[in-house]
Amino acid sequence: MSGLNLDNVQGDILEGLAKKNQTFFFFSIKANQASRFRDDLARLIPSITTTTQARAFHDAIKKAKNENSCELIKNHGINIAFSYKGLLALGIEDDLGDAVFKNGMFADIKNLRDDLKEWAENFKKDIHGVILVTANSEDDLGEALHNIKRKFSVGHTLATIEEVTHLSGDTRLAGREHFGFKDGVSQPVVEGVGAATVKGETPIRQGVVLLGREGDIKRPDWAQDGSFLAFRYLEQLVPEFDTFLEARASEMKLLQTPGGPTGAELLGARLVGRWKSGVPIILAPSKDDPTATISNDFKFDSQDQVKCPFAAHIRKSNPRSDVDDKSAEKHRIIRRGIPFGPEVSAKEISDKKTAKDLERGLLFACYQSNLGNGFQFIQKAWANNPDFPFKNPIIPGIDPIIGVAQPGMKRQMVGANPQKPNETFELDQKWVIPRGGEYFFSPSLSALKSKFGTAGSAAGQSGHQVHPSTLS
């Protein structure tokens, strides 16, 4: 196995594309246009942002910040990924060895416990691929997206792709997602790739994220250094979540100490497992400590949830010492989400309700070498499973942020109240509503050139259109 070449891995996977603004452009390849699509793609490939380039952008931004330069660094990033249906449309039939990818997210709705009625119509259509475009301003993003569309003649009779839909997000102040919590705090450090930015990250082997690397199974040679991308379109009901926290905290008479958090702040932190600042409650259980370094240097006590509920979102999604070391590594993912939608208005706060015809939430994206170990496993076997984590004497309940109860069962967890850690706690409605998504494969740069761009068609992959009914 040759050493990892960061010029060969798309930038969003290991480094993350630098972004203030981002668009996910979902497309289908037009019928009988696979060969011309390959020509267009070959012209896009030189603009695809590699890990090395994404890192250089980040370094330039850091440098400008250190020098107190107010100048906004002009930059954009482009990555591309294909669904299984997209591979078939290009005539690429090699088995990538991932059944979850092959079936697609629409076929996974039941496993994930999504509600089909809540899925947006566009995600029920065939999506062949997604182009991820990021920039440091809306203008730069618009320009980059415009140029990409031109490469594929989108909107003209000569177009090789059609837009299925697009979703755009913007980073919020101080890296907070819409519930107000700092996001992107815990990210696995990949061996041999980079140093931890937050103290206490346990490194994972490259093969947990990249196909064909140490820690992954055998894959077709060309798939090496690619990664599976799980994309989720998640709406968040923010006024409803905040109203719930306030009402329940006051009902429960959560202990209020002078200078301590409000009951709602404490309850919110117990549902997530971190204070809004990112400080983990296991290290600062009674109040946020903004002076404390945001840390990943902690373990859970598998028998105890006084400091952090077993079901807290970060404990469910990265259980650390609640599982053995092998499982802790196997189920790690690299998250690259971005919030979308406007800030909550004064009217929504007073109505305690999200305004009609308005949406906000998270465009969740994560990378892994195996979807059945990564995103799908975390959602299905941990977040939605009331029995997980298993080592303790009580039933923890579902993940209060993303967990979905079995049909007919109540959404509940235990441990929300630190004074009564074994008491059952009713969670009320879902505050995170899955509205769609898809599984994609993000190929290496060499695979893009040899298998997807024009060169790929020389290998006899002319591409064919597959009737949707033959795919599920």
By annotation, the residues acting in catalysis are: 183
Strand 189-190 with 203-204, pairing: parallel
Residues 347-366 that bind ligand N7H (CB under 6 A): 361-362, 364
Which one, 177 or 329, has the nearer CB to ligand N7H?
A: 177
Residue 293 burial (CB count, 10 A): 12
Q: How far apart are CA 143 and CA 149, in angstroms?
A: 10
Amino acid symbol at 37? F
Closer residue to ligand N7H (CB): 183 or 242: 183
d(CA 382, CA 16): 26
DSSP lists the bridge partners of residue 169 as 22
Nearer CB in complex with ligand N7H: 84/375: 375
Our finding on whether 274 is near ligand N7H (CB under 6 A) is yes
Q: Restricting to residues 418-447, which ones interact with ligand N7H according to CB under 6 A?
A: 432
Structure token pair of residue 434 = 């899955």
Per CB under 6 A, the segment of 49-57, 127-135, 232-240, 385-393 that binds ligand N7H is: 232-240
Residues with Cβ < 8 Å from 366, sequence gap 6 or more?
229, 230, 333, 334, 335, 336, 337, 374, 375
Question: With contact defined as beta carbons under 8 Å apart, do 334 and 13 qualify?
Answer: yes
For the CB of residue 180, give the shortest distance to ligand N7H in the complex, in Å: 8
129-135 and 76-82: which strand pairing? antiparallel
Binding map of ligand N7H across residues 163-202, x = CB under 6 A, - = no contact = --------------x-x-xxxxxx----------------
CA proximity to 429, closest of 235, 250, 177:
235
**Dist CA 162 CA 175 (whole Å):** 33
**Beta carbon of residue 2, minimum distance to ligand N7H (angstroms, whole number):** 30
Q: Site size for ligand N7H, by CB under 6 A?
A: 28
Q: Is 218 exposed, middle or buried (0-12, 13-18, 19+ CB in 10 A)?
A: exposed
Shortest approach of ligand N7H to residue 260 CB, angstroms? 20
> Rounded to the nearest whole angstrom, what is the least distance from the CB of residue 415 to ligand N7H in the complex?
16
- The Cα 236–Cα 244 span in angstroms is 13
Q: Is the dihedral of CA 245, 250, 251, 255 positive or negative?
A: positive
Q: 78 vs 334, which CB is nearer to ligand N7H?
A: 334
* CB atoms closer than 10 angstroms to residue 254: 22
CB 209 within 8 A of CB 13: yes
Nearer to ligand N7H, 378 or 445 (CB): 378
- The least distance separating ligand N7H from the CB of residue 375, rounded to whole angstroms, comes to 5
* Binding segment (CB under 6 A) for ligand N7H, from list 213-221, 271-279, 386-394, 460-468: 271-279
Closest distance to ligand N7H from the beta carbon of 460 (Å): 38
Contact between 378 and ligand N7H by CB under 6 A: the answer reads yes
If one asks whether residue 209 binds ligand N7H (CB under 6 A), the answer comes out as no
Least spacing, CB of residue 125 vs ligand N7H, in Å: 22
Task: Collapse the DSSP code of 394 into the 3-class scheme (helix H, G, I; strand E, B; otherwise coil) and give the result.
Answer: coil
| Least distance in angstroms from the C-beta of 120 to ligand N7H | 16
Determine the Cα–Cα distance for residues 253 and 443; give it in Å rounded to an integer. 52
Task: Please report whether residue 83 would count as binding ligand N7H according to CB under 6 A.
Answer: no
Q: Which residue bears the tokens 């103290």?
A: 199
197 versus 250: smaller Cβ distance to ligand N7H: 197
Say if CB 14 and CB 334 are below 8 A apart: yes
Minimum distance from CB of 450 to ligand N7H (Å)?
A: 32
Backbone torsions φ then ψ of 431, nearest 5 degrees: -105, -10
Q: Which is nearer to ligand N7H, 362 or 414 (CB)?
A: 362
| In contact, 317 and 334? CB cutoff 8 Å | no
Check: CB of residue 441 under 8 Å from CB of residue 209. no
Among 232, 411, 449, 451, binds ligand N7H (CB under 6 A): 232
- Considering only residues 402, 413, 416, 447, which one is a binding residue for ligand N7H as defined by CB under 6 A? 402
Per CB under 6 A, does 379 bind ligand N7H? yes
- Segment contacting ligand N7H by CB under 6 A, of 202-210, 245-253, 254-262, 272-280: 272-280
Q: Which two tokens stand for residue 198?
A: 């937050």
Binding mask 301-340 for ligand N7H (x = CB under 6 A): ------------xx--xx--------------x-------
Q: Is 384 in the site for ligand N7H (CB under 6 A)?
A: no
Determine, following the binding rule CB under 6 A, whether residue 13 of this chain makes contact with ligand N7H. Answer: no
Which amino acid is it at 189?
A: V
Instruction: Name the nearest CA neighbour of 414 among 392, 433, 432, 429.
Output: 392
- Pick out residues in 14-73 that bind ligand N7H (CB under 6 A): none
Question: Which residues in this chain contact ligand N7H in the complex, by CB under 6 A?
Answer: 177, 179, 181-186, 232, 234, 236, 272, 274, 278, 313-314, 317-318, 333, 361-362, 364, 375, 378-379, 401-402, 432
